[in-house]
Amino acid sequence: MEHTKQVRVLMLNDMEKLEKRLFRLEQGFELQFRLGPTLQGKNVIVYTNYPPPGGTYDRQAFHPLQWHNPHGREEDSDKYCKLDLQIAGSFQYRFDHDGQKSGEGYIVVDPVLRIGADSRVLPLDCITLQTFLAKCLGPFDEWEDRLKVAKESGYNMVHFTPLQTLGKSRSCYSLANQLELNPDFSRSGKKYTWNDVGKLVHKMRTEWDMLCITDVVYNHTAANSKWIHDHPECGYNLVNSPHLKPAWLLDRALWHLTCKVIAGKYAARGLPALIQNDQQLNSIRGIIWEEIYPKLKLWEFYQINVAKAVEQFRTLLASGAQKKGSKADPKNLVIIQDLQFRRFGSTVDMETALSTFIPHSNGPAAIEECCNWFRKRLEELNAEKHKQINFHHEQAVNCILGTMTYERLANHGPKLGAITKKDPIVTSYFTFPFGEMSLEEEEPLMHQQDKACYFMAHNGWVMGDDPLRNFAGPDSNVYLRRELICWGDSVKLRYGEKPSDCPYLWEHMKKYTEITAKHFHGVRLDNCHSTPIHVAEEMLAIARSVRPNLYVIAELFTGSEYIDNLFVNRLGITSLIREAMSAYNSHEEGRLVYRYGGEPVGSFVQPCLRPLIPGIAHALFMDVTHDNESPIAHRSAYDLLPSSAIVSMACCATGSTRGYDELVPHQISVVSEERFYTKWKPNLNAPSSSEVNGASGIIKGKNALNKLHQELAAHGFIQVYVDQVDEDIVAVTRHCPHTHQSVVAVSRTAFRDPKTSFYSKEVPQMCIPGKIEEVILEARTVEQRCEPYKKDANTINGLPQYTVNIKEHIQLKDSKIVRQAGVTTKGPNEFVQEIDFENLTPGSVIVFRVSLDPNAQKSVGILRNHLIQFTAHFKSGSLQDDQVYPILKVPFADIVAKLTLADLNQVLYRCDAEEQEDGGGCYNIPNWKPLKYAGLQGLLSVMMDIRPKNDLGHPFCDNLRSGDWMIDYVSNRLIARGGACAEVGKWFAAMFAYLKQIPRYLIPCYFDAIMVGAYTTLLESAWKQMSSFVQNGSTFVKHLALGSVQMCGVGRFPTLPVLSPSLPDVPYRVNLITQEKEQCCPSLAAGLPHFSAGIFRCWGRDTFISLRGLLLITGRHIEARNIILAFAGTLRHGLIPNLLGQGTYSRYNCRDAVWWWLQCIQDYCNIVPNGKEILKCPVSRMYPKDDSPSTAAGLVDQPLYDVIQEALQRHAQGINFRERNAGTQIDRNMRDEGFNINAGVDPVTGFVFGGNRLNCGTWMDKMGESERARNRGIPATPRDGSAVEIVGLSKSTMRWLTELSKKNVYPYKGVKIQKEGREVIVAFSEWNQRIQDHFEKYFYVSEDPSDPNEQRPDLVHKRSIYKDSYGASSPWCDYQLRPNFAVAMVVAPELFTPLRAWQALEVAQKKLMGPLGMKTLDPDDMVYCGVYDNALDNDNYNLAKGFNYHQGPEWLWPIGYFLRAKLHFAKLIDRETYQKTVVLVKNVLSRHYTHLERSSWKGLPELTNENGQYCSFSCETQAWSLSVVLEVLHDL
């Protein structure tokens, strides 16, 4: 199913707190929450404060989301809960499991902005904003004339500084009344109101296509606000914040110092009123240390009255209050701060004092001695406080002098001049609304509530402070240490934690917010990083309740992207202001353009359903903000146009400040500027100081750039490339991925003044790929003759001597900046225009519109047309082709429908060894590595890593851009295979014919689109040919089932022996060499890449452990039947071969393969409809007798049931033979005795036994190879005797045959044996019962040490387990804890007492279970080693040459049986145990899912080293690993 809705998936993981990660989404998106590996199977509840359908947003109201399980099965790895995002703002989610809080995060949904009478959408990236200082707009009836400048300059959004009544300082951000429109805007005869403002804003939106936003200031109010004097509790005053008293006293002392300096009282000490050097500053340092600090004695506010405390202590001791027992540590006695901050008002805890200082008797001398110790401790504590305050004093002096240096001496500072009361030594930190008095008279006021409540702390900012910390709070010493850069006109507001802490302030600011949101489309959060975040959260929630699509911008100075994200998340900030003025050269300016938006040119097409990945905040990139100095002062007047052009090409919102475009050569101060802006007058003839038009400054150029910016965003030019041509020239390309049109802006910056700095006349040639359609604009900053600049007294005027020469929409030949443009070809279909410049002077801009070459454009259109069958994304820009290739007239899905699953193995997979056997190999990417597969999966595995990151610099992409080698490899490889595969190859070849016609930089993107479309179609085709379990299964099930396609295939040389010619439904083909018809039955590879080709591809044991999961459960019944019958044909000595070797090179050296084969026949009969018919199928015997030569198919045919019976009969009679060709030619390591094979059945127990100490006949078959370590020829794990899984498998077979023979489906009742010289029949039921009766007796290790069945209690080291074997030649091996008993539990659960089985499984879980697999040996065992290194050859007997292959490393296939056993026995215990087990199983399998998804092989490994670590010697994908996990999911 092709998604057209944009869906993002957020994986939840346990304990993941993502409040500092930014997840941005758009309205109309669907957000799905899914469970990550750490939460799979757990009872997780996701809560969110995003309102339910029909509900309204309440920040505090969280509700649970419903889980959707698309398949309705217990295996619910695909389940999700979702949000359909329809409203803007910040929303929180959190989740818990089993009542425990587990994780949380935020999502931010962008608002939808609308302009015009028709309310059309204004995309965020289209925004071009201009800031106006509201007070400079003049009377309200003149606003339109002044705002029209923004309209005619091409802006579509105006940002007003606050429109409220200003405070005494006249700063735009110091508001006296947040609810009242500034009366300055009214005239004597006409009072304007908020309604008038609202009407103007409406007119601007509907008629001018402009939106309006304004600031909200929550952090402070003007010091002269009437309401703050009526409600002093709204500020930080000395009543509600008594911790500020010492800081207030220091502040007053510094004010009095200012007064004395003005009066000349310190002139004799070298401190005049006019500070001119560092020496005079040092005088201040001396005066503060020598006069002010000693006089203030601020430490006393933190100290204890020693005499008073000692007297109180003495009284208590005398009254008999002393404690008995051992003394407490004196360090436990600490000062308790007086919360009212009175001198010597602090105390200590007398209870602690009495426990610490205990007199040795009640006598006066003892009490006095005790008091002296107490006094000594108090004096120590006071001294500590004195020292601490001295540290604060030191910092305070440094801060005072640092501020004075900046304000009075620094060249970049304001150079305030002489110390006056208007410009004191330092700005006062507190309000003081009373008359002149001495410091001695002032101090008592701070303890009088009616006075102290008016001493309120000013606001400001603290360099490098934690923005989330309240610097005026009781745990902060910022005011005492003078670290605040203070705004002396504003009082810091004290909200508390909730509205009830300061009801008036919250209500007042709520009204302010409602007025703002009612009239404006958005807000700028002033001083955002210092605004209490919980206050801003609440106020913005109120604002959004008034205007849901509120546009919110802010400037953050936190110094950390993560802290920025926290603010963006919690406040739902739409755009963060970014400053181009922060760039120190053109290179950095270009880097910022790339950083703040867009994707790389030629980016991959991302699917509609994809993971939600963290991003950076949307940017509002401003060429200058109202806080910046004028760039004319720092750079040059010539730089404003090119820097504006660079900013305008950014793929984000952009902005500027009024005055920039008019070339105002100074910063327009938010505090001191009182002049008005110029008005718009279109027909202005000469430069004027009070009016402007397009010819003024760079207005005409800015208008063209703003219009271009809006056009690029509106038409999907979302891809960006920045080229630093030379140190001053920056070329920015914006590219549209639908039409493949580009716009290239070349800007020559002028950071240095061209009049005084050298700029080369030689400009580098530029190469622009494609065909230049037009010059959109070319503009140069030029000088004109006029009166020199003079700062106007009434109007904010700019430099009149500069203007912009601009031409728009001209042909290249008419350009005055381009000397000539040559056309060259970079490749067969890639045209490049070489541009030589002649007038690209500093301050110039030229913008080209570029299209693809017409042939390339046509090829792209045709490609897009053919890609529509995969996704509607390609509809735009698509073209019909008149001369289409015939193969492309057929839908790709119809071509693919003719492929069998064996064909799909060829098309999708095939590792290097498989391909080499066919005469090919996997594609090798130069400077990187070969692909894992020759088929599409090899390519897709790489592309899946590259695509989400748009890693276009990857060697894979380089290879595609450099030539057609990989493209041709894909199609030619399939065409060469013939048949249905060739048709797929021809389709690719036809698509690639168009692909080769497009520019090389686009090839990775379109190659990926073709591959992804084809790949998903091929996967769907594979699943359609499988069982309903797969078709209706989860993504996990489906991807595991692809292991069946991956592992099951047929190469040039068939691996299986030839089946009986009389057998129906056998696939045939014509041999390309002999031209004869031959069978081509798919076989199962054991693992890739090591066991994939030649004689090492097929192994009896691996095949039949894998067959149920990969073939039977997936519905591939014919392939399963053919494999069962092919192996049946190779039966010899009653055994199925271990290594198949096409039947002619078989080795019959394993005891278990035959029992796995029998188990698969049983599974086939039970799973496949009419499955029991297989018992009658003809088997062509290769070896009718043990010593027969290889016999051709069809000469000796037997029904399968006869072959089964022969295998059982031979075991019952006893198997003894020596391997053919015994010696180094078949095994270079095995010792002579190891080639002797024996197996049989114990007549008493019914247990199958066999093997000897020098061979290894089970799956744990590592043979020692190291001469150096002396383990060569010695099996690490012989497991001779009766291996537990073989006993379980034989029991399963006996149970099954007992039932079949009863129903006469199987023609034999039992096996014949010789007993006391005569032949007797042992019925299957009897054999079955013998195993049943003896199994737990001989295999269970009881928790009872005196268990009479235990023959070797001295070897027991783990109890409540099942032995790994019985009757081993080394008896201690029987008692080793290994995972093999779980196999017996699954195939023959009836052998086990449920409670004992459960206890054994619990031990295995604790000791053996790893992240992906099961440890093959108990880690407590002395020979355990969990790291497998087959290359290591040293002296260590237990390790050398990988001797520990099965002595610790964690193999995956046993975990499948372990989990299936847990599920089976948990059901028998109780429901709660079963539910817990399901959670465990899902949790374990989620790790397999994660590995499968991330694996470039798209498989599960053979084994891992201990604790799931990667093992380089393991097969990367193993048949039985995939199979058993699929079986667990089937059981679920």
Q: What is the pLDDT of residue 717?
A: 96
Q: Is 125 a catalytic residue?
A: no
Kindly report, residue by residue over 344-365, the tens digit of the pLDDT.
999 999 999 998 898 888 889 9
pLDDT band at 1368 (very low <50, low <70, confident <90, very high): very high
Residues 1457, 1524 contacting (CB under 8 angstroms): yes
Q: What is the pLDDT of residue 831?
A: 82
Q: What is the DSSP letter of 20?
A: T
Q: What is the pLDDT of residue 686?
A: 82
pLDDT at 1023 over 50: yes
Q: What is the pLDDT of residue 300?
A: 97
Is 1314 buried (19+), middle (13-18) or exposed (0-12) by CB count in 10 A?
Answer: exposed
Q: What is the pLDDT of residue 404?
A: 94
Q: What is the pLDDT of residue 1142?
A: 84
pLDDT at 4 over 80: no
Kindly report, residue by residue over 1227-1286, the tens digit of the pLDDT.
999 999 999 999 999 999 999 999 999 999 999 999 999 999 999 999 999 999 999 999
Distances (CA, A) of 911 to 501, 979, 1088, 1497, 1512: 70, 21, 7, 9, 17
pLDDT at 328 over 80: no
Kindly report, residue by residue over 1509-1529, the tens digit of the pLDDT.
999 999 999 999 999 999 999
Q: For residues 1185 and 1195, what is the distance between their CA atoms, to the nearest angstrom?
A: 13
Residues 751, 871 contacting (CB under 8 angstroms): no
pLDDT at 219 over 90: yes
Residues 1417, 1427 contacting (CB under 8 angstroms): no
Which one from 125, 526, 639, 853 is the annotated catalytic residue?
526
Work out the average pLDDT over 1100-1123: 98
Which one from 338, 349, 465, 627 is the annotated catalytic residue?
627
Q: What is the pLDDT of residue 827?
A: 64
Residues 572, 540 contacting (CB under 8 angstroms): yes
Work out the average pLDDT over 173-192: 96
Degrees, nearest 5: CA angle 1373-1376-1380: 105
46 phi and psi angles, rounded to 5 deg:
-100, 130
Which one from 220, 243, 529, 618 is the annotated catalytic residue?
529
Work out the average pLDDT over 88-97: 96
Q: What is the DSSP letter of 552?
A: E
**3-state secondary structure (DSSP) of residue 274:** coil
Q: For residues 1426 and 1424, what is the distance between their CA atoms, to the nearest angstrom?
A: 7
pLDDT above 90 coverage of the chain, percent: 87
- 1050 CB neighbour count, 10 Å cutoff: 20
Q: Which residues contact 1007 (CB under 8 A, 6 or more apart)?
A: 960, 966, 967, 995
Residues 1278, 1251 contacting (CB under 8 angstroms): yes
pLDDT band at 1144 (very low <50, low <70, confident <90, very high): confident
Closest CA to 1136 of 1286, 1292, 917, 1273: 1286
pLDDT at 1133 over 90: yes
Q: Is 627 a catalytic residue?
A: yes
Q: What is the pLDDT of residue 1?
A: 40
pLDDT at 180 over 90: yes
Region of poorest pLDDT, from 12-16, 700-704, 1206-1210? 12-16
Q: Is 529 a catalytic residue?
A: yes
Burial 929-940 (b: 16+ CB within 10 A, else e): eebbbbbbbbbb
Q: Which helix (H) or strand (E) holds 472?
A: none
Report CA 1446 to chain centroid distance, whole Å. 37
Mean pLDDT of the chain: 94
Please report where in the chains the tokens 């027992």 appear, as a residue.
Answer: 325
Q: What is the pLDDT of residue 390?
A: 97
Residues 273, 264 contacting (CB under 8 angstroms): yes
Report CA 1274 to chain centroid distance, whole Å. 50
Q: Which helix (H) or strand (E) holds 1283?
A: strand 1282-1283
Q: Which two tokens stand for residue 89?
A: 């703002």
pLDDT at 588 over 60: yes
Residues 386, 303 contacting (CB under 8 angstroms): yes
Is 1326 buried (19+), middle (13-18) or exposed (0-12) by CB count in 10 A?
Answer: middle
Is 448 buried (19+), middle (13-18) or exposed (0-12) by CB count in 10 A?
Answer: exposed
pLDDT at 829 over 80: no
**Start-to-end CA span in the chain (Å):** 26
pLDDT at 748 over 80: yes
Amino acid at 961: R
Q: What is the pLDDT of residue 826?
A: 67
Residues 467, 536 contacting (CB under 8 angstroms): no
Q: What is the pLDDT of residue 818?
A: 92
Work out the average pLDDT over 1162-1185: 97
Q: What is the pLDDT of residue 215?
A: 97
Helices 854-867 and 979-995: angle between axes, nearest 10 degrees:
140
Region of poorest pLDDT, from 143-147, 492-496, 780-784, 904-908? 780-784
Q: For residues 747 and 293, what is the distance between their CA atoms, to the nearest angstrom?
A: 58
Is 226 buried (19+), middle (13-18) or exposed (0-12) by CB count in 10 A?
Answer: exposed
Closest CA to 136 of 796, 799, 800, 798: 796
Kindly report, residue by residue over 1380-1408, the tens digit of the pLDDT.
999 999 999 999 999 999 999 999 999 99
Report CA 1182 to chain centroid distance, whole Å. 57
pLDDT at 828 over 70: no
